[in-house]
Amino acid sequence: MKIITICATKGGVGKTTIAYNFGEWLAAQGEKVLFVDLDQQCNLSHLYDLENVEQNVGNIFTDEEKLSPITPIDNKANIDVVPGSPELNSISSWIATKKQKSPMYMFLWLKKMSKQGVLEKYDYVILDCHNVYDDVTINAVVVSDVIFSPITPSEFGYGAKFAFSNILDESKSEIIDFATGDSYIKARLYFIANMIRHNTSSSREFLEVLESEDDVVAYLPEREIFNKTTLEYNPISEMLKNDDPKYRKQKKVLRDIAEEFKKMKDVVDNS
Ligand SMILES: Nc1ncnc2c1ncn2[C@@H]1O[C@H](COP(=O)(O)OP(=O)(O)O)[C@@H](O)[C@H]1O
Ligand SMILES: [Mg+2]
């Protein structure tokens, strides 16, 4: 079982779109996927029609003994979801008061899930984060094998890559077992270049800068079909299987995207 966090300190860079399509693609390969929605906007939960669910991710961040907040989706093979909580911001402020325990709630929950034999059902756990690097996001980072951070060819795209690496390094040096000096954060950080446009100077410059960097594992084009996936609840993996003429023309693009997902999977499997 591998745990993947998708996060960035910027909104609208494609975190949820990538989490959804990558997770669905893994499920289509026969892998068992658990999504955890760590954004108070609950966009990922919305895609599975799981809004205002009482058993939500908020139950992970508590000192009370509660039932595990896993909500299986019966109508979708290979995918389970822990729905998001609209209260996540106040939850985050609450965890921040918890001192040493504050980064460890997700860790403790997973340990409990593992004891109950629930966690072993999954091949991949995907955590879709919100746009701030707060205590909730740090909880995700602490349990992760891999962090995927989407970056885009916007004005501050490359700066965001640099800034995120620094933030993570800081957490790594702070969240440690003081007896051994080892960091609790073991995750490898990789970047996904998203919304790459054809023939625009900003995308070209962006790609030139990234070319020399080996931590950029996938390149995803800016395509209307990504919008469609979330608007129509129809992931890339479903479109690939669909013989409808409206998808047939897009088959090459869809296959290219699937190739990038394969690269992401390889990175995770080798972590
Ligand atoms: N590669 C892409 N091509 C075109 N649109 C994209 C792409 N990736 C994301 N989007 C669109 O950008 C918007 C923001 O994406 P979203 O995944 O919600 O970002 P985040 O979770 O980082 O806030 C959405 O409308 C989504 O459809
Ligand atoms: Mg999102």
Q: What is the pLDDT of residues 102-136, one digit of tens each?
A: 999 999 999 999 998 889 999 999 999 999 999 99
Q: What is the pTM of this model?
A: 0.95
**Distant-in-sequence, close-in-space partners of 60: CB < 8 Å, separation ≥ 6:** 69, 82, 105, 106, 109, 139
Q: Is the CB of 17 under 6 A from ligand 1?
A: yes
pLDDT over threshold 70, residue 21? yes
Residue nearest atom 15 of ligand 1, based on CA coordinates? 14
**Which residue ranges make up each domain of the chain?**
2-269
Burial (CB < 10 A; 0-12, 13-18, 19+), residue 88, is buried
Gap between the Cα atoms of 250 and 252, Å rounded: 6
Which of the following CATH numbers is that of domain 2-269: 1.10.3720.10, 3.40.50.300, 3.30.200.20, 3.30.56.10?
3.40.50.300
Q: Is the CB of 127 under 6 A from ligand 1?
A: no
Q: What is the pLDDT of residue 51?
A: 87
Structure tokens of 226? Answer: 């990504």
Q: What is the percentage of the chain residues whose pLDDT exceeds 70? A: 97
Cα 177 to averaged position of ligand 2 atoms, centre (Å): 31
Atom nearest to 195 CA in ligand 1:
1
Q: Is the CB of 10 under 6 A from ligand 1?
A: no
pLDDT per residue as tens digits for the range 147-192: 999 999 976 677 888 899 999 999 999 999 999 999 999 999 999 9
